[in-house]
């Protein structure tokens, strides 16, 4: 197998990896408390980019009108009168310690706690993507009270009970949701103020990912080299592909990723030596790895447009 760690540019690579996606659980029992604490924290935490529009204005677009839905607590879904079943898209609820319920139980209990804390809310949903093989439609879920409408995903991110997990968000929507998450992290709201779970990992410390396999996390670090085969691109975060952290993406996705990176002045082939943030599910295969399936999973933490020392708007 040829070595794919090289000093400069895109080089031939010999490693191909796949990823089994896995939903990450959350400590559901604390959800109501976290949400209450986050309301006060949100008032103290300034937005990095206050000009970014609210998610309710940019995520659903004008493709179709939202339909009224009710929350089905037995499945953590939002159901319309016609029987359409919507799953709140583009968020993950991370695992916490303490032996609390996880997985779909965590999602169900967290959503139920939030909605029960605001019983007068009206709910509506619009499709964010096509129906999956289980008959579930990823959706943008709107909550409204006294004529004011907000995106549920954005509110959960601001409360710190979920992290942004790009799957269907376009550019402006991704900016808005990432800004909501940043607001929670700066305020140390919800999960961001806890010692567990660990939300952010260092890409330079591959051994630290030993407890993250199968979970959706955020990784940050410097790209050491770039590699490629005919079908796959590699972002290498160390010199030894058998042990170091690696991100892969399909060659066919390169144009979409370059379009997303272009908003901060970058392209994939210029990322060697740059510090980036990547989020996704971790798989252990010749060291920890992630698959980049959506272009908004990857951002460069140095924004060329902001000057040499500017931070990414993402």
Please list the pLDDT of the chain residue by residue as tens digits (314 residues). Answer: 444 444 446 665 544 333 333 333 333 444 444 444 443 444 344 434 445 667 888 998 756 789 999 999 888 899 999 999 999 999 998 765 434 444 567 677 788 888 888 888 899 999 999 999 999 999 999 999 877 889 999 999 999 999 999 999 999 999 999 999 999 999 999 999 987 788 999 999 999 999 899 999 999 999 999 999 999 999 999 999 889 999 999 999 999 999 999 999 999 999 999 999 999 999 998 899 999 999 999 999 986 665 444 444 44
Q: How far is CA 307 from each of CA 46, 50, 214, 267, 303, rounded to the nearest angstrom? A: 22, 19, 37, 17, 7
pLDDT score, position 52: 60
Supply the pTM of this predicted model.
0.79
pLDDT score, position 189: 94
| Distance of alpha carbon 203 from alpha carbon 245, whole angstroms | 6
pLDDT score, position 115: 86
pLDDT score, position 45: 41
pLDDT score, position 61: 72
Record the tokens describing residue 208, joined without a space.
Answer: 């630290």
């Amino acid at each position: 197998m040829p070595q794919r760690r090289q000093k400069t540019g895109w080089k031939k690579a010999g490693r191909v990896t796949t990823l089994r996606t896995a939903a990450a659980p959350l400590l559901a029992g604390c959800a109501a408390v976290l949400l209450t604490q986050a309301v006060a924290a949100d008032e103290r935490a300034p937005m990095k980019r206050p000009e970014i529009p609210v998610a309710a204005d940019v995520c659903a677009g004008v493709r179709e009108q939202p339909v009224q839905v009710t929350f089905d607590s037995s499945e953590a879904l939002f159901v319309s009168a016609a029987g359409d079943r919507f799953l709140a898209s583009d968020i993950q609820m991370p695992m916490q310690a303490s032996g609390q319920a996880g997985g779909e139980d965590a999602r169900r209990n967290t959503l139920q706690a939030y909605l029960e804390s605001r019983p007068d809310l009206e709910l509506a949903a619009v499709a964010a993507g096509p129906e999956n093989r289980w008959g579930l439609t990823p959706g943008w879920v709107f909550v409204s009270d006294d004529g004011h409408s907000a995106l549920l995903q954005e509110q959960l991110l601001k409360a710190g009970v979920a992290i942004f997990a790009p799957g269907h968000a376009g550019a402006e929507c991704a900016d808005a949701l990432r800004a909501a998450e940043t607001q929670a992290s700066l305020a140390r709201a919800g999960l961001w103020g806890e010692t567990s779970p660990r939300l952010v990992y260092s890409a330079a410390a591959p051994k630290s990912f030993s407890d993250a396999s199968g979970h959706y996390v955020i990784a940050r670090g410097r790209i050491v080299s770039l590699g490629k085969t005919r079908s796959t691109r590699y972002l290498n975060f160390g010199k030894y592909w058998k042990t170091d952290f690696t991100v892969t993406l399909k060659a066919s996705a390169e144009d979409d990723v370059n379009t997303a990176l272009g908003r901060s002045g970058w392209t994939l082939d210029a990322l060697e030596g740059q510090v980036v943030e990547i989020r996704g599910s971790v798989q252990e295969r010749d060291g920890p790895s992630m698959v980049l399936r959506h272009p908004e999973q990857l951002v460069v933490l140095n924004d060329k447009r902001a000057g040499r020392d500017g931070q990414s708007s993402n």
